[in-house]
Structure 1
Amino acid sequence: MGAQGCREDGRPETVLEGWFVLLLDLEAFAPRERVDAFHHAMTDSSVPNEIVHEECDAGMSARIEGWRVGALDLFDMRCSGLEVRRTARHVRQHRDRPVVSVSLQTQGIHRAEQAGTRSTLGPEDICVFHELAPRTYGWSGHGASQAVTVDMEHLGLPVDTVVRASGRLRASPVHDLLLGHLRSLFRDPGRLEADPGAGALANATTDLVRALLTSAAHDERDGRVREAMGSSLVPRIMAYARRHLTDPDLGPERIAAEHAVSKRQLYVVLGRAGIRLEQWLIGERLEAACRLLVSPHHAALPVSAVAARCGFSSPSHFTRRFRAAYGTTPSEWRRHRIRSIC
């Protein structure tokens, strides 16, 4: 792995680390240099902000990592207490292609204020900010967040829609679906970054964000809501299916009912997208099983338990499907992969 460096002008240097980019690690700086290093990193990688750091006995700490998945930028930030304020003056200095950030609060209780509305945010909340709107965001003590940024032009929503929606995201039926989808992006973003389907995944994520914001900002009878929900149907179906892969009863009937469409309409919609549902579900479950089989944390997990955890109805069904896909049994595949790793 690489390490955080420092350029001749004193600014932190971006260092490639495997699949991700380490944007900042304050452990590489002397305590007296950390405030300047943090501000330089935030200015380089984002937009002008006023940043106030919380005094803490352990000293200031921060680590920021980033990935590029298709047209999306993903960031993971762990930091001691701070408050980031973006004022109207900062907004006037925006870059050519402003973004909308969609974040998860992975550690600590976060505070946000936008358009005169104050809120506290926890791990079950999504937070949305438009770069062209003033806002305040931060936390006390050690906290962490994960954020995805979407190009404003790609999202295609006006600033007032995003701001109006940001205060009532839970009113949208898409909230929990997008929450689960965003969490899945950060399970292995490096793998997603290198995947041939990264572009399609980014587009599907943007469709889900657009559907969330449109449905939260407008009445459900509004034509814009119907249009957004319709255009996001396929990514919503895929996100729902991924969240429930471990359920043995997950199938076309249940998926169709959850999305208020008929089974025939479900097949038509997915067929237009080139997706064969049953085969796709089997493929996703087999990939999940492969990850469990070689995971050091699950080395003692029997193959039958792996099958159950990945949504297969029986160990024999799992073994049959696994052999058809990989030409070997799950047990043989596990032994071979573990030997090759060692």
Structure 2
Amino acid sequence: MSPCALLETRHASTQAVDPDHRLRFWEDYNASTLVGLKCNSYADDGFTASQDNLQLSAMRLARIVGNEHVVERDTSMIRGVPKDSIFASLVTGSGSFFYQDGACQLLEPGELVVYRTDKPYLFGFSGAMRQFIFDISQEQFAARCLKRFNRTLKISVHNGVQRLLLRTLGERTREFFQQPLCGEAEAYQEQAFELLASIIAGQVGERPINALSASYLLAAKQCIHEQLGDPTLSCERVAAQTGISTRHLARLFAMENTLPSRFILEKRLQQARRLICSSQGAGLDISEIAYRHGFASQAHFARAFKARYQQTPSEARAQGPLSEWPATAPGVHRS
């Protein structure tokens, strides 16, 4: 696949649907693509909404725009359309409220709410609604964001560090939706996971960090992501491009219990493993995949891969490609 190819995007809109059928159409689309829910709207001009959906290797993304409405996922819906995911919803339109576990969270534009889809919830929007939803399996969420997650988390914009991280997450997600290039999907996904992990860790008190340090750490990670394929990438180069010393760089990564060099190796292995296990990588030699991800030799790659995943690259490839999208719902198109 060409690196300039676009990811397949699923899109649905109520615009061409009869007003009397819009709520049912919306419920059916969400049940097939995002999550089963019930929708109600009291807007004078009827319910209107549109949604774009992307699937990455380890998360799904939704961009939703609509007018005032309420969605509910009750116990009957959980039984009828089960889904065991964690949703992180970044609201960027009007104010909203979220109810789960007996607690109601009021959300301002720019704030994030993280919740489980295997528990009942109510989500309401008082005006023009815009939101990004990050749909992550419980297994991936435990591995990448928070090991144990049972109760709703709200992340406010009133903290300077959280505001910076939330704004960065929103901007990068908006840019990716505008041009979802296949060649940039893994880098975007890694950035999204890292931002979500930092945001959540800051909320639960695991990673205290000030806004200046957070901005340097973001810049350093961006430098690394952009140059992962370069085998000469070094901590010294990352520090110089970020505008800090190598010692300061090490202190920043120490707040996440890692080293810059270990972070670089981990990201290279993660991306190489995803390509090896994907249909896009099926026709590539393992040596070529190793070189693409910054490993100077196949032997070094094989040793590092076995140490990290307790299997060889060939054994990982034998596990097969990732799951495909479900069937397209009526009235829905892909681009």
Is there any run of 5+ residues in structure 2 with no aligned partner, and where?
A: 1-5, 209-215, 226-239, 269-335
Q: Find the counterpart in structure 1 of residue 56 from structure 2.
A: 69
Report SS of the residue matched to 1:59: coil
1:206 aligns with 2:199: no
Instruction: Report the CA distance shift for 1:24/1:104 in structure 2 as closer, same or farther (over 3 A).
Output: same
Letter in 2 for 1:156: A
Letter in 1 for 2:46: G
Q: Find the counterpart in structure 2 of residue 253 from structure 1.
A: 245
Instruction: Answer whether contact 2:223 2:241 (CA < 8 A) is retained.
Output: no
Aligned partner of 2:25 among 26, 29, 37 = 37
Aligned partner of 1:141 among 104, 127, 143 = 127
Instruction: Report the CA distance shift for 1:212/1:161 in structure 2 as closer, same or farther (over 3 A).
Output: farther
Equivalences for residues 296-315 of structure 1 within 5 A: none
Normalised by the length of structure 2, the TM-score is: 0.57
Q: Which moved more, 1:135-144 or 1:83-92?
A: 83-92
Instruction: Report the CA distance shift for 1:167/1:27 in structure 2 as closer, same or farther (over 3 A).
Output: closer
Q: Which has the larger radius of gyration?
A: 1
Q: Find the counterpart in structure 1 of residue 66 from structure 2.
A: 79
Taking the aligned partners of 2:28 and 2:166, their CA distance within structure 1 comes to: 32
Instruction: Report how far residue 76 of structure 1 moved.
Output: 1.1
Q: Find the counterpart in structure 2 of residue 119 from structure 1.
A: 105
Instruction: Answer whether contact 1:169 1:213 (CA < 8 A) is retained.
Output: no
1:268 aligns with 2:271: no
Report SS of the residue matched to 2:179: helix
Q: Find the counterpart in structure 1 of residue 173 from structure 2.
A: 185
Report SS of the residue matched to 1:146: strand
Taking the aligned partners of 1:106 and 1:133, their CA distance within structure 2 comes to: 24
Q: Find the counterpart in structure 1 of residue 75 from structure 2.
A: 88
1:55 aligns with 2:50: no
1:238 aligns with 2:221: yes
* Matched-pair identity in %: 15
Q: Find the counterpart in structure 1 of residue 96 from structure 2.
A: 110
CA-to-aligned-CA distance 1:259-287 (integer Å, 9 cap, x gap): 2759xx96534553589xxxxxxxxxxxx
Instruction: Report the CA distance shift for 1:116/1:193 in structure 2 as closer, same or farther (over 3 A).
Output: farther
Report SS of the residue matched to 2:149: helix
Taking the aligned partners of 2:47 and 2:264, their CA distance within structure 1 comes to: 52
Report SS of the residue matched to 1:252: coil
Instruction: Report how far residue 192 of structure 1 moved.
Output: 3.8
Instruction: Answer whether contact 1:161 1:214 (CA < 8 A) is retained.
Output: no
Instruction: Report how far residue 64 of structure 1 moved.
Output: 0.8
Taking the aligned partners of 1:35 and 1:165, their CA distance within structure 2 comes to: 27
Normalised by the length of structure 1, the TM-score is: 0.56
Instruction: Answer whether contact 1:50 1:84 (CA < 8 A) is retained.
Output: yes
Taking the aligned partners of 1:73 and 1:119, their CA distance within structure 2 comes to: 24
Instruction: Report the CA distance shift for 1:62/1:220 in structure 2 as closer, same or farther (over 3 A).
Output: closer
Instruction: Report how far residue 156 of structure 1 moved.
Output: 2.0
Q: Find the counterpart in structure 2 of residue 282 from structure 1.
A: none
Structure with the higher helix share, 1 or 2 = 1
Instruction: Answer whether contact 1:150 1:206 (CA < 8 A) is retained.
Output: no
Instruction: Answer whether contact 2:94 2:108 (CA < 8 A) is retained.
Output: yes
Instruction: Report the CA distance shift for 1:162/1:94 in structure 2 as closer, same or farther (over 3 A).
Output: farther
Aligned partner of 2:182 among 157, 175, 194 = 194
